[in-house]
Structure 1
Amino acid sequence: MTDAPGPGRLVRGGRSFARFLLVWLAATAALVLLDDALAGFALASWWQAPACALLLGLLAAVVWPLLMRVALPIAVYTFGVGALVLLVAAVAALFPIVPGVRLDGVLAAAAVVLGTAVTVVAVSALLAIDEDEIFFRRAGLRARRRVADHGSAVPGVLFLQVDGLGLPILRRAVRDGTMPTLARWLTDGTHALAGWHTDWSAQTGASQAGILHGRNDDVVGFRWYEKSAEGRGRVMTCSSPGDAAEIERRVSDGTGLLHDDGAGRGNLFTGDAAHISLTVSAVPLLTRGRGGRVRSDRIGAGYYAYFANPVNGVRTLVAAVVDVLRELVDAARQRRADVRPRIRRGGWYPLVRPGTTVIARDVVVSALIEDVLAGRPVAYADFVGYDEVAHHSGIERADALSVLRAIDQQIGRLHRAVALAPRPYELVVLSDHGQTQGEAFADRFGEPIGKLVARLCEYEPEPDPADTDPRPSRGPSRAEGWQFGAAMAEAGDLSGPVAGMLRARRRIRQRTSPEPAAPGRVAPEVVVLCSGHTALVSFTDHPGRVSLETLEREHPGLLPGLVDHPGVGFLLVRSDEFGPLVLGRDGAHRLADGTLTGDDPLLEYGPHASGLVARVDSFEHCADLMINSRYDPVLDDASAFEPHVGSHGGLGGPQNEAFVLYPAGWSDPGEVVGAEALHRVLRGWLTDLGHPDPGVRSGPGEHTRHHGQDQRGHAHDGHGARRDVEPADHDPGR
């Protein structure tokens, strides 16, 4: 499948030479300008500028990639800054060797490197020099040689998840030009758009478990408390590597969406992929030095391809600095205008935000380009930047929409890359959930949900100076950043001597690290954990599920106080007499037989609410008391139990309105309710294309179809499908 000689190849070679010449001239012009502008850099003759530009090109094209083979973890750990420092050191050592060139110190060398790189990037953009095309063609030729026998006519598929982007916001972004790539696909008729309804736990952990593995039962929230037989439990958190690995062990049967030599990039779970990077559930395999299917030669995707080009580092550094400044300006503008709702966005967040919106995004895209050029049959990647910024800024505000615009540009890059792949590819864009906006519960009502529960249980909560602070709550101190955590773990497992030293140091740190304290305890026997618009209350001195009757006897003011609270929409509690019971201010709903007393507390939460709530009630680790925030359909507003502006994790509003944008010729997914149903839709599409079908089996421990749903996942009654899987001997990194 290599290119045959001919006029087309000569034309491409001529274009490549012209691009090289233009970039060389741009670098030469930059060095001439720097000669005049910098006191510590001087050129004695006209020929030295083009000679130094050529030397820079050789460093970038030959020496730099070889250096990255040895020191790649340094670049990863420092998010590219360490890589630039190494390049600066090389320039400081080599430029003075050129006769007549004076370079005084490291600072002057840094100015030369940054100035030249920025100029080259700017000139390339002005002259429409497509650096992507150069990279794609070179990498594509190498990939074709590697996979000459892999030329499958079966199309590959890229599933691109835009984390937290709800269907209403997507429609606005397409309509107003924020996402022109997706708008063009829909306008040209190459793709169709459909919505899907999330589970009650509208968050990435539940959604990705269902989408990637076909099962998400017992994923109660983003975090939840598990009781043990001895009455001593633990808090599970979807973004914790150990907990994510345990969740995957429970839900995976080895035939996930990506099991056929697929790739997973930037996800919480592997989907049983053979090739992974920035994947949280696989981190324990790396940090324990275990083998399985996660090997060091399969986790470096994206890192080397990205950092091997120093211009990428400069481009990302500039974009990251711009993102920091944008965050500071936008936060200040909100404060001056007293925009509501809002949270305080200080601390480390402005510095950490670019890690999610820029750096992790670009590394994920580089990994996907490698997957495409290697001809891998299927890949799934998560772009988390919009979700993170919308939490802090709001779901339709300018800085959140600017993140969507940047993600759309990266989707456009991937669309160009697939044209050079050794097999045809289709692109599917989807979301795992949306977000519902509103003022944080603690800001609107004067106390967080945990303190409210403790007070209603007649425990005196510890005084907190923040309770009397009139300013909005401070947002999370750092970005969600599970991709960063995975990147840090993976960096030490990359190849090379530096990686070996880092692995040894990491093992020492792990042996001496203490266990973290369990969060959420608001009283001696009460744990309250927040998952966006859901709060999960567990009474730790009771084994098993605590009944409504027990709560009324031991904490008589708790349930009346909660249902009468203006920020609470409904409660789920188990009654010894009536079974699962949903309580609201003006009525009760018996889930077992549908009996209503007064007004239905689930009425404002959609036609699927009763089935989704009943499903959670059946989970082994369902909390003793599940609290959903109140949703106002007139204002399209709800108050999250966490300090967020845009939030999700419960029922109510656009947080439950996710989307899937798919090639127009594919089968209509119909009405899809729940992530497990969406998994079956995606699996059906892959099977229709000719990908291997692991089969739909009905024996114990395997997939079963839920009543009212067909193989494509068409849902008619709001219930998701469930199956029981024996967890023994399953490798969480598979």
Structure 2
Amino acid sequence: MISRVHVRLRWLRRKLSRTHLAARFLGVTPPPGDSEQGGLILIQLDGLSREQFDHALRSRKLPFLSRMIRKGHFKAEDFYSGIPSTTPAVQAELFYHRRTAVPAFQFLHRETRQIFKMYEAESSRIMEEKIAAESPEPLLRGAHSYSNIYLAGATESRYCAQDLSVDTLIQRLHPLKTVILCLAHIVRLIRMLGLALLEVGFALFDLVKGLYEKRDFWKELSFVPARITICILVREAIRFRALLDLERGVRVIHANFLGYDEQAHRRGPTSMFAHWTLKGIDRAIRDIQRAAVRSPYREYEMIVYSDHGQEETEPYERRFQRPVEEAIAEVFASGPAAGHALWSSRTAAPLGGTLGRWLSLLKLETPATQKADADQIVLTAMGPLGHLYLPHPLDETAIRRYARELVAKAGIPLVLLPARGGEAAAFNARGGWVLPRDFEEVVGPHHRFASEVAEDLVALAGHPDAGDFILSAWSPTGKPLTFPLENGAHAGPGYQETRGFVLLPERIDRWHHERDPENDRPIRGATLHRIVRHFLDEDPVLAGTMRTGEASAPATLRVATYNVHSCVGLDGRVRPDRIARIINSLAPDLIGLQEIDVHRPRSGGLDQAHEIARRLDMEHVFHSMLEEHDERYGIAILSRHPFELVKKGLLTPPSKRPWREARGAIWIKVRVPDFPQPIHFVVTHFGLGRDERKRQAEILLGPEWLGGIPADEPVILGGDFNSGRRSVVWQRLAGSLAEAQAQFAGQRPRSTFPSMKPLVGLDHVFLSPHFRVREVLVPDSPMTVRASDHLPLLVELTPPTDKA
């Protein structure tokens, strides 16, 4: 009854939602039926380092993500950006499995002598064609992509670098539909207007601060509309587009939220204003996740990650009281490079980054790609990583002399020379070094990703479009510099800029740690590429975590019980594959299932026990407690280890009363690696009446069942007992066997029913003294809440002599 009402309320809520009505207006219709292929939503929080992410969780700037982590749905891990630590490089590695695909956000494309800025449509298109020609199939083929550098095979994209030409934006503009949708979302628009006014206030504060620091007035003022566009309008547009995609059942969605990164560039990564933008991003992620849970067509998982972090930086010009171009020109005023003018893309285009892109679009201009003169020394330095290109080759002695003078006279913290034979020369204030051998002298002794950074710095120095001198503003002994006027920066090898984060759903995270051959190294773009590819390409259940054919962890046994409600979820859908996914995420060695249908029309005529066991590659046994013609209904045991069936049968027969069904049990004997004796595992499902449950408990404890097992042999009893912890039945069972949750000191006993708001514990695991409880898990992720009216209960056991 509860589940039917919940299904109806969910259906009504969805039909009346603004997104559903907007989707109908736009002609978006979900596919018929439902798909067994799992969907994936990839959310990128641009520029948020792991340190600032953790701070935002503690300061409640990310309340939804914080709650999802606390509930165990997400596992937070470090994400290593690679070098350069910029979005174009990270996304190339994620989308195409290609490391160090670009040498910087801005660089000289040697083949055409054009200055490439990776936010420009032409630059990103040319580089993507080159990357795609040398890489396997793009990760987003058939997906929808929002606010990314590359399209990566997406069938639909918005706000990506290649979309942001004025012609493309005008072609996609539908004025009438836009007006109607704005009226339909008038409350959200009013809120957006309030946020925009607040952002204007922040921007004016920055403007006054900039004037006090003697910055250019018009340049400061020009940032205001671009900030509003990026931090509010684009964020809300991405959110709305993602919600429409979920309505139409798009399998893969990748969305990049830019607001924090832009605010951090301007105000610093630790600033209150930058962290303020995270609240809006968190709300957008919350709305997308909730819509994914309600999707009528597909089961979705979500991965949230940041591509890189930012360093708190000091602009070069502020520290040395002159622009970096002037200092570099002074170095090259003598010697074999004398006589060549220095051309800097920074002075030719003072507004860079995403803000520059959006300012150009707000003026209805598409930025023109700049071309450098072949007889000039060219400097590209959009951020703390720059490249110097010489018009003519110089001998080794001159190159090294200039490198040392760039450090000594121009104050460049680190200079790299092009790599040769897998090594790269590096120069800083402490002397000359060779990478990767002298890594600690170059980057510092305490870097979290030491070996990876050393490898990537050499790869960067070997890139065909890298400069003759690679300039880095990173120094491990002082506050990092940056070449533009910004307070936060990224691109180099710093501690914060290379350390992002990734939130993996539990079952995907477990697969990564137990099956990925490189799981002892940090997650980076290439790792995440493999994880996503595995999820999308493999069977949707086996894409999880089951360690098929492998032994358990030493002296560890994972046992679960789960009332699956005939695989009918609170959304009204019959999904054995969803139940199998959940079991897969738990990775049990043994599991007892209750309310299993076999060949019943109400559940599609499937043999649910066989179907779930097949998907998990587990052995199984089923016992029927109701039979009508070919239809059966009962309980089952699934095991990852071979077992011997000892007994299955009824505890009490059916009654004439309609709610008094027959109740029974299954008893197997299984040998588990690292456990000294075979284990008796008994699974049951007790009735609804108090008197019948008492009788069932006495029979189960009697000599024909558990009472006949010798005291020195280990026993596990699990099931749905329809009895809470204060009941007579629970007390009777707990008097003979220890209840697992009562034996676990790590947490209070968890309830399992009803799944949407667990109030009572009906499902239990009882143990003989041969076990110690190591962990108790009652997962309440969005999927487990809607898959059945019960939550699963899992206990991890070890022998009592195991001190692990």
Q: Which TM bucket (shorter chain)?
A: 0.5 to 0.7
Residue 175 of structure 1 is matched in structure 2 by: 58
> Is the counterpart of residue 317 in structure 1 residue 193 in structure 2?
yes
Checking the alignment, whether the CA contact within 8 Å between 1:537 and 1:626 is kept in structure 2 is yes
Q: Residue 348 of structure 1 aligns to which amino acid in structure 2?
A: S
- Among residues 518, 522, 528, which one is paired with 2:379 in the alignment? 528
- Among residues 199, 210, 221, which one is paired with 1:347 in the alignment? 221
Identity across matched positions, percent? 18
> Is the counterpart of residue 568 in structure 1 residue 450 in structure 2?
no
From the CA coordinates, give the structure whose radius of gyration is larger.
2
Aligned-partner Cα distance in 2 for 1:397–1:296: 36
Aligned-partner Cα distance in 2 for 1:444–1:450: 14
Checking the alignment, whether the CA contact within 8 Å between 2:226 and 2:358 is kept in structure 1 is no
Aligned-partner Cα distance in 1 for 2:266–2:392: 36
How far apart are 1:182 and its partner, in Å? 0.9
Q: What do residues 316-359 of structure 1 show as CA deviations (whole Å, max 9, x unaligned)?
A: 333222211122135546887x89x9999722112221000000
Q: Residue 650 of structure 1 aligns to which amino acid in structure 2?
A: G
Checking the alignment, whether the CA contact within 8 Å between 2:315 and 2:484 is kept in structure 1 is yes
Residue 396 of structure 2 is matched in structure 1 by: 548
Residue 485 of structure 2 is matched in structure 1 by: 643
Checking the alignment, whether the CA contact within 8 Å between 2:247 and 2:295 is kept in structure 1 is yes
Q: Summarize the Cα distance change of 1:257–1:326 in structure 2 as closer, same or farther, 3 Å threshold.
A: same
The secondary structure found in structure 2 opposite 1:443 is: helix
Checking the alignment, whether the CA contact within 8 Å between 1:202 and 1:649 is kept in structure 2 is yes
Q: Residue 383 of structure 1 aligns to which amino acid in structure 2?
A: F
Aligned-partner Cα distance in 2 for 1:447–1:147: 59
Q: Residue 128 of structure 2 aligns to which amino acid in structure 1?
A: E
Q: Residue 601 of structure 1 aligns to which amino acid in structure 2?
A: V
Aligned-partner Cα distance in 1 for 2:180–2:533: 30
Residue 123 of structure 2 is matched in structure 1 by: 243
- Among residues 294, 297, 301, which one is paired with 1:426 in the alignment? 301
How far apart are 1:262 and its partner, in Å? 1.0
Q: Summarize the Cα distance change of 1:308–1:181 in structure 2 as closer, same or farther, 3 Å threshold.
A: same
Residue 532 of structure 2 is matched in structure 1 by: 682
Aligned-partner Cα distance in 2 for 1:256–1:285: 26
Aligned-partner Cα distance in 1 for 2:486–2:273: 15
Residue 374 of structure 1 is matched in structure 2 by: 248
Give the structure with the larger helix fraction: 1
Aligned-partner Cα distance in 1 for 2:207–2:277: 15
Aligned-partner Cα distance in 1 for 2:312–2:85: 14
Checking the alignment, whether the CA contact within 8 Å between 1:137 and 1:420 is kept in structure 2 is no
How far apart are 1:209 and its partner, in Å? 1.6
> Is the counterpart of residue 154 in structure 1 residue 4 in structure 2?
no
Q: Summarize the Cα distance change of 1:258–1:588 in structure 2 as closer, same or farther, 3 Å threshold.
A: same
Aligned-partner Cα distance in 1 for 2:201–2:379: 36
How far apart are 1:268 and its partner, in Å? 1.2
The two structures have a TM-score, normalised by structure 2, of 0.57
Q: Summarize the Cα distance change of 1:461–1:540 in structure 2 as closer, same or farther, 3 Å threshold.
A: closer
- Among residues 444, 454, 458, which one is paired with 1:603 in the alignment? 444
Which ranges of structure 1 fall in alignment gaps of 5 or more residues?
Answer: 1-5, 17-131, 290-294, 465-472, 490-505, 694-734
> Is the counterpart of residue 447 in structure 1 residue 322 in structure 2?
yes
How far apart are 1:193 and its partner, in Å? 0.5
Aligned-partner Cα distance in 1 for 2:11–2:261: 42
Q: What do residues 91-133 of structure 1 show as CA deviations (whole Å, max 9, x unaligned)?
A: xxxxxxxxxxxxxxxxxxxxxxxxxxxxxxxxxxxxxxxxx97
How far apart are 1:539 and its partner, in Å? 0.6
Residue 411 of structure 1 is matched in structure 2 by: 285
Aligned-partner Cα distance in 2 for 1:211–1:180: 27
Q: Summarize the Cα distance change of 1:595–1:170 in structure 2 as closer, same or farther, 3 Å threshold.
A: closer
How far apart are 1:248 and its partner, in Å? 1.0
How far apart are 1:566 and its partner, in Å? 8.4
Q: What do residues 670-693 of structure 1 show as CA deviations (whole Å, max 9, x unaligned)?
A: 333643333223323434563999
> Is the counterpart of residue 589 in structure 1 residue 437 in structure 2?
no
How far apart are 1:10 and its partner, in Å? 7.8
Q: Residue 371 of structure 2 aligns to which amino acid in structure 1?
A: A
Q: Residue 404 of structure 1 aligns to which amino acid in structure 2?
A: L
Aligned-partner Cα distance in 1 for 2:403–2:78: 35
How far apart are 1:621 and its partner, in Å? 1.4
Q: What do residues 5-35 of structure 1 show as CA deviations (whole Å, max 9, x unaligned)?
A: x96798689989xxxxxxxxxxxxxxxxxxx
Q: What do residues 641-684 of structure 1 show as CA deviations (whole Å, max 9, x unaligned)?
A: 12110100111120100111111222236333643333223323
How far apart are 1:551 and its partner, in Å? 2.6
Identify the range of structure 1 (388-397 vs 560-569) with the bigger mean alpha-carbon deviation: 560-569
Aligned-partner Cα distance in 1 for 2:256–2:60: 22
Q: Summarize the Cα distance change of 1:691–1:145 in structure 2 as closer, same or farther, 3 Å threshold.
A: farther
* RMSD value, Cα: 4.4
The secondary structure found in structure 2 opposite 1:391 is: helix
Q: Residue 385 of structure 1 aligns to which amino acid in structure 2?
A: G
The secondary structure found in structure 1 opposite 2:275 is: helix
Residue 628 of structure 2 is matched in structure 1 by: none
The secondary structure found in structure 2 opposite 1:653 is: coil
How far apart are 1:419 and its partner, in Å? 2.4
The secondary structure found in structure 1 opposite 2:61 is: coil
Aligned-partner Cα distance in 2 for 1:215–1:342: 40
Aligned-partner Cα distance in 2 for 1:532–1:10: 54
Q: Summarize the Cα distance change of 1:540–1:588 in structure 2 as closer, same or farther, 3 Å threshold.
A: same
Identify the range of structure 1 (449-458 vs 478-487) with the bigger mean alpha-carbon deviation: 478-487
Q: Residue 664 of structure 1 aligns to which amino acid in structure 2?
A: E
Q: What do residues 507-537 of structure 1 show as CA deviations (whole Å, max 9, x unaligned)?
A: xx99xx9x65437x8x962111113111100
Aligned-partner Cα distance in 2 for 1:678–1:10: 38
Q: Summarize the Cα distance change of 1:14–1:310 in structure 2 as closer, same or farther, 3 Å threshold.
A: closer
Aligned-partner Cα distance in 1 for 2:164–2:65: 33
Q: What do residues 274-306 of structure 1 show as CA deviations (whole Å, max 9, x unaligned)?
A: 1211122355797599xxxxx979x99x97895
Aligned-partner Cα distance in 1 for 2:127–2:144: 19
Q: Summarize the Cα distance change of 1:679–1:430 in structure 2 as closer, same or farther, 3 Å threshold.
A: same
Aligned-partner Cα distance in 2 for 1:184–1:360: 25
Identify the range of structure 1 (261-270 vs 212-221) with the bigger mean alpha-carbon deviation: 212-221
Aligned-partner Cα distance in 2 for 1:347–1:621: 35
Q: Summarize the Cα distance change of 1:323–1:571 in structure 2 as closer, same or farther, 3 Å threshold.
A: same
- Among residues 70, 73, 80, which one is paired with 1:197 in the alignment? 80
> Is the counterpart of residue 436 in structure 1 residue 316 in structure 2?
no
How far apart are 1:196 and its partner, in Å? 1.7
The secondary structure found in structure 1 opposite 2:294 is: coil
Residue 139 of structure 2 is matched in structure 1 by: 257
Aligned-partner Cα distance in 2 for 1:286–1:351: 21
Residue 389 of structure 2 is matched in structure 1 by: 538
Q: Summarize the Cα distance change of 1:209–1:434 in structure 2 as closer, same or farther, 3 Å threshold.
A: same
> Is the counterpart of residue 456 in structure 1 residue 331 in structure 2?
yes
Checking the alignment, whether the CA contact within 8 Å between 2:81 and 2:500 is kept in structure 1 is yes
Aligned-partner Cα distance in 2 for 1:342–1:170: 33
Aligned-partner Cα distance in 2 for 1:9–1:432: 38
Aligned-partner Cα distance in 2 for 1:398–1:426: 31
Aligned-partner Cα distance in 1 for 2:12–2:103: 59
Q: Summarize the Cα distance change of 1:159–1:451 in structure 2 as closer, same or farther, 3 Å threshold.
A: same
Q: Summarize the Cα distance change of 1:255–1:573 in structure 2 as closer, same or farther, 3 Å threshold.
A: same
Residue 203 of structure 2 is matched in structure 1 by: 327
Checking the alignment, whether the CA contact within 8 Å between 2:444 and 2:476 is kept in structure 1 is no
Aligned-partner Cα distance in 1 for 2:300–2:180: 21
Q: Summarize the Cα distance change of 1:327–1:448 in structure 2 as closer, same or farther, 3 Å threshold.
A: same
Q: What do residues 447-485 of structure 1 show as CA deviations (whole Å, max 9, x unaligned)?
A: 232222111001699999xxxxxxxx9x96577248858
Residue 518 of structure 1 is matched in structure 2 by: 371
Q: Residue 533 of structure 1 aligns to which amino acid in structure 2?
A: P
Matched residue count? 517
Identify the range of structure 1 (669-678 vs 143-152) with the bigger mean alpha-carbon deviation: 143-152
